[in-house]
Structures are given as C-alpha cells and as structure tokens.
A and B are shown apart, each in its own frame.
Chain A
Amino acid sequence: MNDFTRRKFLKAGVAVTAAGATLSYGSFAIGGSNKKVVIVGGGIGGATAAKYIRMMDSSVDVTLIEANKSYYTCFLSNEVLSGERTLDSIKFGYSGLAKHGVKVVNDVVTGIDADKRMVKTAGGDSFSYDRCIVAPGVDFKWEAIDGYDAKIAENTPHAWKAGTQTATLRKQLKAMKDGGTFVMVPPTNPFRCPPGPYERVAQIAHYFKHNKPKSSIIILDPKKKFSKFGLFNAGWARHYGYDPKNPTAAGMIKWVNSEAGGIVDSYDAATKTVSADAGNFKGDVVNIIPPQKAGKIAFIAGLTNDKGWCPINGKTFESTIHKNIHVVGDSCVAAPMPKSGYAANSEAKVCAAAVVALLQGGSAPTPAYVNTCYSIIAPGDAISVAMVYSYDESAGKIIKVKGSGGLTPGKFDAVLREREHQYTYSWFNNITSDTFN
C-alpha cells in the first residue's frame, strides 16, 4: 500500500472511533507494527480499559499486568460480612479478558519509565508501550493511626480491599459473642466508596439483629457528615435502633462524629482498644479503615501530586505529569466523580476511546460519564446515588450535568426500595460482566 492510501486509511480509523464504532473493526495496523498498550492493575478500571480498547480497535496489542490471579470485588463484600453471600460470589477471573485478546500477565509492576516507555515487573520482565494505563486502586496512609499498620491489619482488618481480609472480618463477627461490641473507624475524605463504611454498618447491624441482638456498633468517625447521610440515618433508625437526633445515645448503632470526639489517634492491638478524642473504646471486633492515597506504583512512577493522588486530563485521563501514561479509577483525581467502581468503569471507557483515537493519530472524542452507587440497608430497603457528568472544554474539567442525578427520595416507598434492592444485584452482575467478560 502506498503512503498516501495508508495515511487516509489511518484517518478513516480515527473517524470510526470519533463517530463511536464499538465493535472490533479489524486490523488498522497494515504495514506497520501494532500499537502497544500496557495496563497496570486488573481491577475495575484496568480490566474495563483492556476490554474496551480491544472492542474499539482489535489491532491494538493490549497487555494487562495484575498482581493477583483472581479479583474480589469490594462491592457487595459488605454482604459477605453479614453472611448474605459467599466470598466466592464476589470472585472473578481473567479468562474473559483473554477471550477479547487481552494478554493477561500475573506479576507485580515495580517501575514505569516514562522516557523509555517501559514497564518493569518483580518477575524481571519488561514491557514496552506506546501508551500505558495505570489503575492500581488505593493504598493506605498507615502513618495516620499510631499502632495500626499493614501487619496489625492482618488481625484487625480494614477489609477495604476485598479477599482475605473480608474473610477474616466475617470470621471474627461470626465468632463474636452476643452482646459484643463492634468498633468501626471510617477514614477521612477523600476515600474509596464514600457510602461504603455506612453500608457496612447497616449490613453488620442486619447480621447482629438476627443473630446477636444484644450486640452494639460504635462508629468513631473523623467526619461531621457522610455520603447519603439522611438516607442512612433514617435507614439505621428504621431497622436497627439509632437516634439521628442523638447519635451517641442508646441503640444498636452509635455514631460518634468528629465534634463528639470521633477522631482516632491510636490503636492498641493487644487489647483491641481504639483511642479517640472521646476516650478509649474497646471492641470485641475492630475494623479500622485508614485514610487513603493512590496505589503504590503511582508514587514509584512519579504520577502523584502533593495530596497523594494522580492529576489527569479529564478528557483523556492522561497524566498531567507524564505524557503517554493515563491513570483511571480510585488513584486519579476525577472529582467531582467519586472513587467508586461505577466511576472507575466509566472513566476507563472514556480513557480507552481517547487512547485508541490518539494511537490512530486523531484526537480524543467528546467524553460522557456516569456514576451510581447502590447501598443495601436491609432486605427490601436499598438506596442509590446517581450522577451524569460531562466534560467542560473551556474550563478543562469534568462537571456534573445540571439537573441530573441525585439520591433515592427520602420518603420511604417500600415498593421502590424493594426494586432498588433487586436492581442492586442486577447492577452487580452487569458491571462485573461488563468489566471482566
């Protein structure tokens, strides 16, 4: 093929993406070597990006490097804690991605050389790329709470990455005596899944109510408010015994906020005692969720800002620090989008479309994003938050679309709450299948 035709052909490829063809469009890399994308981390963001790049342009050579053989979703892991589902039901493998032609490598990435465009792994391999997508999720600020570190967390789990720690926490809750105390320490903002700790409280209260009704839950919170605040307050009160007007009063759930002395400074693992402004709290089971920052590899690769997160261009998710490296999911700064699985999945598709267009020599298409988070308060009572986002070209920012989104109405509607509960499970099946299959 002569150069002229080839150039036109490549241009045509760009048009396809811009116009939004989704299905594999055959090979565009005629006469040249295939473009290479290396993806670091096969969680929600990384796996979605891998699949969608292959769907958009099957000529792109996609390698996904993931530390673990299987992935446990954080979402619905709170139902594992309450015994409503098994750990196996939140486990996913990588064979689905292989079917899309993604090369899945089981290894830990130890370095990314932005100049040489090279990814290095603990196993000693190197992978060169034209564009790299980094999606390592979160890491913890272990220094935040004295006496709490990665080692202690094996027995006093955060369970904020699902898997072994989810199983440990479930085991401890099961072994706890009726009348015991569960102490939870949620993190400061921003963190993965803003409604997550409060859904966890509801799920554990649900388990206690039906199995250990004399038990209680104490939340030592460094914040004054949290996600879906009114809905959780009303839900806890409706099902479990909680007084929103007097949150530290008697009732199964007591919420000690920052003003009431909820700020925690240390933990004594030997006595399972949490030390907060309001005093010492001894738990039979303790769950500390430390403050968070971008995944470790993002720091090693120099992709983080002074707050510990990765700044990106919201249209392409390309790092504003290193060219040709994109960051999606919890690690990136996509505010006003929250750090959620739905957001990671949505960001990954915008990123995939941009990466494909840029590799083809075009420019990134106009993005569209959505976030939704469901929380199950009790059987037949689930709530959600949703938002539609767009990209503001002139401000160079992701923005909420005015008038869209919002919360489940506060006025309790049993019919719709039951539907939301069923739709939560549908969302779970669809997003995991959209990500891994």
Chain B
Amino acid sequence: MKRNTLLQAALLTCGLSLSAASVAGGASGAMLAYTCAGCHGTNGVSTGPAGPSIAGFDYDYLVDSMHQFKAGERRSTIMTRIAKGYTDADIEAMSKFFADQKYILAAQEYDKAAAKRGGKLHKKYCNNCHEDAGTLQDPDEDTGMLGGQWRPYLSYTFADYQAGEREMGKKMKKKFKSMHKKAGDKGIADLLEFYASQK
C-alpha cells in the first residue's frame, strides 16, 4: 500500500532525528532556537528595524559567531550575555536549525544613487567572498549576510570593524583597506545603501 510506504519513510527519518537529539542530551535545536525568536524573529527572520536576521546563515559562521560572542571576542550589546548560557552541543544544534531556515531579505528604504555607487564598490572589493551582493552563503567562506540585512546592524558592524572591536580576516582586511583608501567613510555609507537596496 502506497500510503504505508510513505509512513514507513516518515518513521525512518523521524526515528533518526530522535536519536540524534538524544545523543546530544540537551534541548533540541528547535527548542533552543525558539528562545532567540523574541529578538531575531520567528525562525530567525528579523522584522527589524535594527536587529539582524540569522535565518539561512552558513552553519560554520553561526557556530563561530556564537563562540566569539561567548568568549567576548566580538563587541556586543547583549549576545555575549546570551551566548554564555550554551554548551558547544547547544550551539551546534541551534546553528543547524537556523542554517536550515530560509534567508529572507529585509525590505528597506535606500538612496538610489548611493546604492549604485555602493554596488560598484561591492563588486570590486567584496563580491569575491560575499557573492550575489552578500546574499549567498559560499560554503568555503563562512561570511554572514550583507544584502537585505538590516542596515543599523550592518552599520554597527562596520563601526566595530573600523574600531578594531571585531577582527576581520586578513584577506578581507586588505580589501576593506583598499576600499576605504579609495572611497573613505562615504564608501561605507554607499555600501550600506547598496546592501539595503537588495530585495
């Protein structure tokens, strides 16, 4: 009977994921992720206007970010206090959950001319690692999302990079410096408009 086969299939998959959860021993990725929704939105899709979406992010980027927050290596208002509540296994489970969600670009207002200038800068200096305007997660790069991310969050992030409160990878640092040398702080403002313009 066709239906039965389907049911058996469901049984198999479910059985597997159950054992995966019990090996970890703690709360499931979904259960942990529910607690983030009050600030990051249901399933990690933030309704803004400032806090970042985390749905559909690269798994390794999420795990790294949580560890950086937990260790206090990355400037934060609140994430360090939150991240300290979780074990490595918790962090892996919640990261898997968010990596499996769909990234949804936030609709934001933007300045057309500035976005156009920003697009050129992005293409020249950033797109190698942040593909598709920074909306694609290249599994080799673990980069976080730029296009369609909430602008205030990104602008705080740029400020932290510039102040040395968050570390850039060597290669990004080089490109970022070149970009800044050429376009200055206005270049950053233009990049922010470009990322906000992505839909």
Residues on A facing B (Cβ under 8 Å): 1, 5, 8-9, 11-13, 15-16, 18-22, 52, 342, 345-346, 349-350, 353, 365-370, 372, 384, 386-388, 390, 401, 403-406, 408, 415-416, 419-420, 422-423, 425-427, 429-431, 433-434, 437
| Distance between A347 CB and nearest chain B CB, rounded to angstroms | 10
Out of B30, B38, B78, B82, which one reaches A431, CB within 8 Å?
B38
16 more A-B contacts (CB under 8 A) besides A22-B34, A368-B34? A19-B21, A22-B97, A365-B28, A366-B27, A369-B35, A388-B35, A403-B85, A404-B82, A405-B84, A405-B85, A420-B78, A423-B50, A426-B47, A427-B39, A430-B39, A431-B37
| Distance between A85 CB and nearest chain B CB, rounded to angstroms | 14
Asked whether, in the complex, the Cβ of B28 is within 8 Å of the Cβ of A419, the reply is: no
Out of B4, B36, B85, which one reaches A5, CB within 8 Å?
B4
How many angstroms between the C-alpha atoms of A71 and B173 in the bound complex?
A: 49
Is B10 engaged at the interface, CB distance under 8 Å to the other chain? yes
Q: Can you report 24 A-B residue pairs in the complex whose CB atoms are below 8 A from each other?
A: A8-B7, A9-B10, A12-B11, A15-B17, A16-B17, A19-B17, A21-B17, A21-B30, A345-B38, A346-B34, A365-B21, A368-B27, A368-B32, A368-B90, A369-B35, A370-B38, A386-B82, A405-B82, A405-B85, A415-B159, A422-B152, A423-B77, A425-B49, A437-B42
Segment 77-119 of B: residues with Cβ below 8 Å from A: 77-78, 81-82, 84-86, 90, 97
B36-56 to A contact mask, C-beta < 8 Å, 1/0: 111111110011111100000
How many angstroms between the C-alpha atoms of A387 and B35 in the bound complex?
A: 11
Which residue of chain B has its CB nearest to the CB of A430? B41
How many angstroms between the C-alpha atoms of A5 and B11 in the bound complex?
A: 10
Is B15 engaged at the interface, CB distance under 8 Å to the other chain? yes
* Majority SS at the chain B contact face: helix
**Given the interface contacts A15-B14, A342-B38, does A353 sit within 8 Å of B48 by beta carbon?**
no
Is B31 engaged at the interface, CB distance under 8 Å to the other chain? yes
Asked whether, in the complex, the Cβ of A434 is within 8 Å of the Cβ of B38, the reply is: yes
Chain B hits for A365, CB < 8 A: 21, 27-28, 31
**Given the interface contacts A5-B7, A370-B82, A423-B77, does A433 sit within 8 Å of B39 by beta carbon?**
no
**Given the interface contacts A369-B35, A388-B86, does A20 sit within 8 Å of B30 by beta carbon?**
yes
Asked whether, in the complex, the Cβ of B14 is within 8 Å of the Cβ of A403, the reply is: no
Asked whether, in the complex, the Cβ of A388 is within 8 Å of the Cβ of B85, the reply is: yes
How many angstroms between the C-alpha atoms of A346 and B82 in the bound complex?
A: 14
Chain B hits for A403, CB < 8 A: 84-85
Chain B hits for A52, CB < 8 A: 34
10 shortest interchain CB distances as A-B pairs = A388-B85, A20-B28, A20-B30, A404-B85, A426-B51, A19-B17, A15-B18, A370-B35, A15-B14, A368-B27
Give the interface centre of B34, B42, B82, B84 by most chain A CB atoms within 10 Å.
B34
Give the interface centre of A18, A369, A370, A426 by most chain B CB atoms within 10 Å.
A426
